[in-house]
C-alpha cells in the first residue's frame, strides 16, 4: 500500500493518544472541513479506523500501523532493539518503583515502565538514560540486568511485535517528575501495587512479573528470557 498522506498521519497520531475521539476532536487545525472529512473517511474505508457510536477508534490494522509512528505522528524505521529502564527510589526506608500508565496505542492503558528504541550506535545504558529523561523528566545512571525477547501475536497468530528489550535498572533519580505527557501518566508506587497493575495488563506475562520480582528482591543475576504470547486485544 502507498504511504499515507500527512493529514492522514496527523489523524492517526491523534487517535494514537486516545481511546476514541469525536469528529471535531480528531479535526486537524488549519485543514478545511471538507478536506479533513475526505481523509477521515479514507482511513475508515481502508480499515485503519472505525466509528463506534459517536467516536472514531483505531482498528487492529490501525494499531499495527501506528507502531511505525512516534507520538508526534512521524513515520520511523521499525527497529526491533529496545530498552526497558526500570527505576526505583527509597523514601523513609521504603523502596518504590516508577510506573507509567501507557496513554498511546498499542496496549493503551497498560501499566509498566517506560520503553523505547535504541538508536544506531547508542549504548544500552545511554538509551535507558535518554528514554527516562524524554518520558519522565528524571535522570539517573543505569546498569544492564538482562534481556527479554517479547514476541506477541494476534488471535490468528500473526506477529504484532518481536523485539529484544534490554532491561536496565536505575536507582534514586534526580529531577522533576513529568506526571502526564504524550507518553503516559508517570507515578511512584510500591512493588506490590506495581505487580498487581502489571497482572491486569493487556500484555501481562509470567516473565514481566518475574522481572519485577527480581528488582524487588535485588536479585541482579544476569538473565535472558523469551516469551511468545497471543494477545486477545491490543
* Predicted confidence (pLDDT) per residue in 92-147, tens digit: 999 999 999 999 998 999 999 999 999 989 999 999 999 999 999 999 999 999 99
How many distinct helices (H) and strands (E) make up the chain? 6, 10
Question: What are the residues whose beta carbons fall under 8 Å from the beta carbon of 214, sequence distance 6 or more?
Answer: 145, 220, 221, 223
Q: Give residue 24's pLDDT.
A: 94
> How many CB atoms neighbour CB 195 within 10 A?
17
Question: What integer pLDDT is reported at residue 77 of this predicted model?
Answer: 57
Sequence-ordered alpha helix ranges (H) in 68-205: 124-136, 191-199
Question: Is the CATH code 2.60.40.3880 the one for domain 81-230?
Answer: no
| Element containing residue 116 per DSSP (H, E) | strand 116-117
Question: What is the pTM (predicted TM-score) of this model?
Answer: 0.81
What pLDDT does residue 73 have?
Answer: 75
Question: Which run of H or E residues covers position 56?
Answer: strand 55-58
**8 Å CB contact between 152 and 104:** no
pLDDT under 70: residue ranges of the chain? 1-2, 76-79
Q: Is the peptide bond preceding residue 106 cis, with omega within 30 degrees of 0?
A: yes
Q: How many Cβ atoms are within 10 Å of 120's Cβ, its own excluded?
A: 8
At residue 159, φ and ψ (nearest 5 deg) are: -70, 125
Cα–Cα distance, 170 to 179 (Å, whole number): 18
- pLDDT at position 116 is 92
**CA proximity to 102, closest of 91, 88, 116:** 116
Question: What are the sequence ranges of the domains in the chain?
Answer: 6-66, 81-230
CA atoms within 13 A on the CB side of 49: 28
- Predicted confidence at residue 78, as pLDDT, reads 55
As a whole number of angstroms, the distance between CA 133 and CA 119 comes to: 15
Q: Is 130 left (phi over 0), alpha (psi -120 to 50) or beta?
A: alpha
C-alpha cell at 106: 498499542
Measured distance CA(22)–CA(45) in Å, rounded? 17
CATH of domain 6-66: 1.10.10.10
Amino acid at each position: 500500500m502507498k504511504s499515507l498522506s500527512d493529514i492522514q498521519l496527523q489523524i492517526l497520531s491523534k487517535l494514537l493518544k486516545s481511546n476514541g475521539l469525536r469528529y471535531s476532536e480528531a479535526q486537524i487545525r488549519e485543514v478545511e472541513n471538507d478536506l479533513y472529512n475526505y481523509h477521515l473517511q479514507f482511513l475508515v474505508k481502508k480499515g485503519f479506523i472505525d466509528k463506534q457510536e459517536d467516536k472514531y477508534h483505531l482498528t487492529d490494522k490501525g494499531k499495527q500501523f501506528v507502531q511505525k509512528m512516534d507520538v508526534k505522528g512521524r513515520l520511523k524505521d521499525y527497529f526491533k532493539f529496545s530498552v526497558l529502564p526500570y527505576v526505583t527510589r527509597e523514601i523513609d526506608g521504603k523502596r518504590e518503583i516508577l510506573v507509567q500508565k501507557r496513554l498511546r496505542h498499542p496496549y493503551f492503558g497498560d501499566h509498566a515502565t517506560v520503553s523505547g528504541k535504541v538508536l544506531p550506535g547508542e549504548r544500552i545504558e545511554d538509551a535507558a538514560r535518554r528514554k527516562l529523561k524524554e518520558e519522565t523528566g528524571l535522570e539517573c545512571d543505569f546498569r544492564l540486568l538482562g534481556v527479554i525477547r517479547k514476541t506477541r501475536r494476534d488471535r490468528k497468530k500473526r506477529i504484532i511485535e518481536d523485539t529484544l528489550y534490554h532491561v536496565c535498572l536505575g536507582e534514586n533519580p534526580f529531577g522533576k517528575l513529568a506526571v502526564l505527557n504524550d507518553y503516559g501518566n508517570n507515578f511512584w508506587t510500591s512493588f506490590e501495587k506495581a505487580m498487581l497493575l502489571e497482572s491486569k495488563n493487556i500484555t501481562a506475562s509470567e516473565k514481566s512479573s518475574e522481572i519485577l520480582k527480581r528488582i524487588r528482591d535485588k536479585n541482579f543475576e544476569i538473565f535472558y528470557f523469551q516469551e511468545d504470547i497471543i494477545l486477545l486485544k491490543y
